[in-house]
Amino acid sequence: MQQSYIDNLLNTVVAARAKDDPDRALFQALDQIPAPIYVTDAEGVVRHFNPWCHAFAGRVPVAGKDRWCVTWKLYTCDGEFLPHERCPMAQAIRQGRAIRGMIALAERPDGTRVTFMPFPTPIFSQSGELEGAINMLVDITEPRQAQDLHEQASRCSRLSAQIGDQQASEALALMAVQYAIKAAALEMKEAAPQVRAENSAIACGEGVSA
C-alpha cells in the first residue's frame, strides 16, 4: 500500500536514532533518502533539511529561521495563497498527528511551481512528548502512471543488483527509491479522494486546528 511504504520509510529513519546522539543519526539517515525531507522542532522551526530540498524549493532553506516549511511560497490546490502557518506541517505539529492525502503547490523564487504531496509526521520522545516533526515532499507534477513508476523502480533495483560498477549500482538503487516514493504518492492521490475531501479545508487554505 502506498501510504505504508512512505510511512515505513519515515518511521524507519526516526526509529534508527541513536540514544547517545539521536539528531546526528537522524540527519545522516535523511541525507541518504532521494526525496526532499526536513525536520523541525516542536515549534515548527526547521532544524535540518536534506540536499534534495534545495532543488525542490528553488532556494537554500535556512535552518533555525524558516518555520513550518522549506518552500518559498505555498498555494492551495485551487491556486489560493496558503500561509506557511496554515500548511499541513503546521497542523501535524499542532494536532500531534500525521497528515495524509493533501496536495499543494510550491512556488520557487523564479516563479515556477511544483505540485506535491506532503507527509508531515510528528516525532515523539519515548515518554510521549512532542519533539518536532519530519516531512517528506513528493513532487507529483509530472502526470506519470504509478504502475509505470513501479516498473521503473523494479528495473532499477534489478540492474543495481546485477551491475558490477559500485558507483553505478548505488545510483540505480537511489533511482529505484525515487520511483517508488513517487509511485506511492500517486497511488494515494488516486485511491483516497475521500481523504482529500475531508481535509479540503486545510488544502484550500480555510484554516487548521490549533
Summarised one tens digit per residue, pLDDT across range 135-172 is 999 888 876 666 777 777 787 777 677 766 676 676 66
Q: What is the pLDDT of residues 65-114, one digit of tens each?
A: 999 999 999 999 888 999 999 999 999 999 999 998 889 999 999 999 99
116 neighbors 106 (Cβ within 8 angstroms): yes
Residue 205, pLDDT > 50, answer no
**Domain residues of the chain, as ranges?**
2-141+193-203
Residue 206, pLDDT > 60, answer no
Query: What does pTM read for this prediction?
Result: 0.72
Q: What is the pLDDT of residues 33-67, one digit of tens each?
A: 888 999 999 999 999 999 999 999 999 999 999 99
Q: Which residue has the cell 515523539?
A: 124
Alpha helices in the chain (DSSP H): 2-15, 22-31, 52-57, 88-95, 146-162, 166-191, 193-198, 200-203
Q: What does residue 200 show for φ and ψ, rounded to 5 degrees? A: -60, -25
Q: What is the pLDDT of residues 102-134, one digit of tens each?
A: 899 999 999 999 999 899 999 998 888 999 999
Contacts of 129 by beta carbon, 8 Å cutoff, 6+ apart: none
pLDDT recorded at residue 202? 45
Burial of 19 (0-12, 13-18, 19+ CB in 10 A): exposed
pLDDT recorded at residue 13? 74
182-11-2 Cα angle (round to 5): 30
10 neighbors 119 (Cβ within 8 angstroms): yes
Superfamily of domain 2-141+193-203 in the CATH hierarchy: PAS domain (3.30.450.20)
**Category of 148 on φ-ψ map: left (φ > 0), alpha (ψ -120 to 50) or beta:** alpha
